[in-house]
Amino acid sequence: MLVHVATPLEVCEQRDRKGLYARARAGLIPQFTGISDPYEPPDDAAVRIDTTMLDVDAACTAVIEWLQAAGYLAP
């Protein structure tokens, strides 16, 4: 099962505690996805979680509900 955790680049940069995006923008990290390498969202994700709209609990609930609906977990 593929879960796509969809977060806009701007939000990723705001949440970046390690400063990786800033380092990538400065050219210090080559081939950084979304900065110097293109990002291609999956088209075959079973579940898409928009982290700008859902908190952690709601995101987990969405995955668990999908697993239940697909028969992987008992309801």
**pLDDT given for residue 5 in this prediction:** 94
Are residues 62 and 49 in contact, defined by beta-carbon separation less than 8 angstroms? yes
CA distance 64 to 75: 9
Query: What integer pLDDT is reported at residue 4 of this predicted model?
Result: 96
* Cα 18 → chain centroid: 17
Tell which residue, 32, 30, 28, 43, has the closest CA to residue 9. Answer: 32
* Domains of the chain: residue spans and CATH: 3-69 (3.40.50.300)
- At 75 the pLDDT is 83
Spans in the chain with pLDDT lower than 70? none
Condensed to tens digits (0 to 9), the pLDDT of residues 9-27 reads: 999 999 999 999 999 999 9
